[in-house]
Chains A and B, each alone.
Chain A
Amino acid sequence: MSGSIEISQELFDPQIDETPPSRFKRMFVYMWRYRLGMLGMFFITALCITAVLCPWIAPNDPYEQDIMNMLKPPFWMDGGGMDYPLGTDQVGRCLLTRIMYGTRISLLVGLSAVGIMLVIGAGLGILAGYFGGATDSIISFFINCMMGFPFILLAMSLVAVLGPSLQNLIIALGLTSWPVFARVARVETMRFKSQDFVLAARSLGYSPLRIMARHILPNLLSSLVVVGTVAVARAIIRESILSFLGLGVQPPIPSWGMMLSEGRGYMLMQWWMATFPGIAIFVSALGMNLIGDALRDLLDPYLRKT
């Protein structure tokens, strides 16, 4: 009922457009509309800050082993202490510190791998969707081959050829996970290609490259960003999987996946060793997904107001 009263006031009040709400209020309304996205933003910002500042804010050295204090529980449990707030691992390294340093690896891997995927996937997808015909058949076949191939096997063989290192891990992830981008880009391109504004661009004599880059790509961005944020989350998880298998980041560099793998053997008694890196993976993946959701709304000009 109150809603209808508000609407009628808006309709009959001629002053409504002349007194815009203050900047602060507008910002607040905006943030409230995207509150879940703001939560995701908060998670990811916190992770980024941690990644940058960890040498100064981490309580200990990530590589320093303290044999006397190995497998210590978190501070709120018996035997825990503020020296090692989240406890220590099997060689007495501070878990909190290692998780904080692990943020760097995860974000680096996630973002750069997605960058590679975006370039390869969106590029091939737009080409396939725009030109159609034989180009489309070849690229689509390639996409299907990539999708049918087991990720672990492909990533494993890539790492085996290139040798396990952080850089090669990023390359392996990027080269194996782009088909989702290609599929989305291809389908969306086909959708937009049949619209009159692409026909108008063609009738103005623009080059195919210009049409793809300036007229089609901007229309794909919102879908690609959504796929991209999900892909960052997945790349972080896949980095953990490869590191878990020993194919990714090499010890003693702290990576969440590797910490998970190290904690596996202690799951029943020293649960914190696997739980906290797991929570870190979860929070970062959730944060990226929430941001992706909010960005999809924000980037859509039909929904954008103010």
Chain B
Amino acid sequence: MAPDKRQHSDSFLMEARDLKMHFPIRKGLFSSTVGYVYAVDGVSFGINRRESLGLVGESGCGKTTVGRCLLRLYRPTSGKIFFQGQEIQDMTRKDLLKVRTRVQMIFQDPYSSLNPRMRVRDIIGEVLTVYKIVEPLERKDRIAELLQAVGLQPDHGARYPHEFSGGQRQRIGIARALAMNPKLIIADEPVSALDVSIQAQVINLLDRLKEQFGFSFLIIAHDMSVVEHVADRIAVMYLGRLAEMASDKEIYTDPKHPYTRALMAAVPIAAPGGIERRLQRKLLTGEVPSPITPPAGCRFHPRCPRVMDECRNRKPPVIEVQPGHYVHCFLYA
């Protein structure tokens, strides 16, 4: 799917514009603010209808915070969030209801994301009852339908979450997210807590459901190989800012940003000569700087192999190297 070049808010299903989320650090007797965690610091991107966007970055780069801001689980410090052309960043809880039933989340940890005291059918079906989507009689059928869609048996509904394995629990979480027929599903590291053998199953399931239910998809991951299968477009994040955004193919064949290149180098290559090819690439050294005291200028400059003087004190511009391929880097200015 070709990324939309236009930047109008109504062309995207959901759009973040210069989104910032700074968490105050409070200390001492009077909890005075001594600093901020710059978790997200000026991120802009959009998700098209029926598109899946992968958001990739190292842990601690703010990808989860972006996802939670889009759902308004956090109220962003500044910036704008549009959903179907409507600004949602300052909405009250009541106004948000319409958004929240349309945007759903899949969580990373399938063990803490399901209420241990609720039966599976109530976990999935509660939302139907709360918003009176279905008649009580239809509710059972709808739950059975959802369970089957995610590859579980209808009679699993009577059980409690602890009776299921990690992969099955994640499927229950997916069924809950699907219950309202959402327009957008935000999956926060949906498979990183699962065994490798189960990961592929769940990824394939998500891919299939996306076609079947026709939702847009924001998949957050730290692992390039996870998003590779699902995402149409990939946005790479580094320390609260975007580094690069392009279609799936271009990121893989022609990464521009030095950080993206380093990330690609970390992906194992399953091909003859893969190891040698990988060794030729430059792997990153050093640690991610703290988001409390982020580096000035380009966030990546302390670790960048091609750092220049400007990178140290000026924020890099956004450059469209090819239609729909955006790089935040001075190298292409």
Q: Are A302 and B162 touching (Cβ within 8 A)?
A: yes
- Whether B113 pairs with A197 at a CB distance below 8 angstroms is yes
Whether A210 and B130, one on each chain, are in contact in the complex, defined by CB atoms closer than 8 angstroms, is: yes
The reply on B250 being an interface residue by CB < 8 A is no
Contact with A along B82-121 (1 / 0, CB 8 A): 0000000000010011001101110111001111111000
Beyond the given A205-B93, A205-B97, A215-B115, could you list 6 further A-B residue pairs with CB under 8 A, ordered by the A residue number? A196-B112, A197-B112, A199-B107, A199-B113, A204-B100, A302-B162
Q: Are A301 and B162 in contact (CB under 8 A)?
A: yes
B160 in contact (CB, < 8 A): yes
| Bound-complex Cα distance A101 to B180 (A) | 58
Residue of B nearest to A222 (CB): B117
Q: Do B96 and A205 touch across chains, with their CB atoms under 8 A apart?
A: yes
Determine whether A195 belongs to the interface, using a CB cutoff of 8 Å to chain B: yes
CB < 8 Å: which of A199, A206, A210, A218 contacts B117?
A218
State whether A200 and B176 are in contact (beta carbons under 8 Å apart), knowing that A215-B115, A219-B117, A301-B117 are contacts in the complex.
yes
A202 within 8 A of partner (CB): yes
Complex-state Cα separation, A208 to B126, whole angstroms: 15
A232 CB to nearest chain B CB (Å):
23
Q: Which residues of A contact B108 (CB under 8 A)?
A: 196
- Across the interface, name the chain B residue whose C-beta is closest to A301: B160
Q: Which of A197, A203, A221, A301 contacts B71 (CB 8 A)?
A: A203
Q: How far is the CB of B185 from chain A (nearest CB, A)?
A: 11
B137 within 8 Å of A (CB atoms): no
Q: Report the nearest B residue to A204, measured CB to CB.
A: B127
User: Which residue numbers of B lie inside 8 Å of A, CB to CB?
Assistant: 68, 71, 73, 93, 96-97, 100-101, 103-105, 107-109, 112-118, 126-127, 130, 160, 162, 173, 176, 180
- A199 to B176 Cα, complex, angstroms: 13
Residue on A with the closest CB to B131? A205
Asked if A196 and B107 make an inter-chain contact with CB atoms under 8 angstroms apart, the answer reads yes
Is B104 touching A203 in the complex (CB atoms < 8 A)?
yes
Q: Of A205, A219, A221, A302, which one neighbours B115 at CB under 8 angstroms? A: A219
Partner of B116, one of A200, A210, A302: A302
Q: Are A199 and B73 in contact (CB under 8 A)?
A: yes
With contacts A203-B71, A204-B127 taken as known, whether A196 is within 8 angstroms of B113 at the C-beta atoms is yes
Taking a contact as CB atoms under 8 Å apart, the answer to whether B73 and A218 are in contact is no
In residues 290-306 of chain A, which contact B (Cβ within 8 Å)? 301-302
Q: 7 nearest interchain CB pairs?
A: A205-B100, A196-B113, A218-B117, A196-B107, A195-B112, A197-B115, A205-B97
B117 touches A202 (CB 8 A): no
CA distance A219 to B162 in the complex (A): 14
Residues of A within 8 A of B176 (CB): 200
A210 proximity list for chain B (CB < 8 A): 130
Residues of chain A lying within 8 A (CB to CB) of residue B113: 195-197, 199-200
Q: Tell me the smallest distance from the CB of A180 to a CB of chain B, in Å.
A: 22
Q: What CA separation (Å) do A197 and B161 show in the bound complex?
A: 12
B130 neighbours in A (Cβ, 8 Å) = 204, 206, 210
A202 to B107, CA, bound (A): 13
Contacts of A197 in B (CB 8 A): 112-115
Find chain A residues with CB under 8 A from B117 CB: 218-219, 221, 301
Chain A residues, CB < 8 A from B73: 199, 202-203
Quote the shortest CB–CB distance from B40 to chain A (angstroms): 17
A-B pairs with beta carbons under 8 Å apart, 24 shown: A195-B112, A196-B112, A196-B113, A197-B112, A197-B115, A199-B68, A199-B107, A200-B105, A200-B107, A200-B173, A202-B73, A203-B103, A203-B104, A203-B105, A204-B101, A204-B130, A204-B180, A205-B97, A210-B130, A214-B126, A218-B115, A218-B118, A219-B115, A301-B116
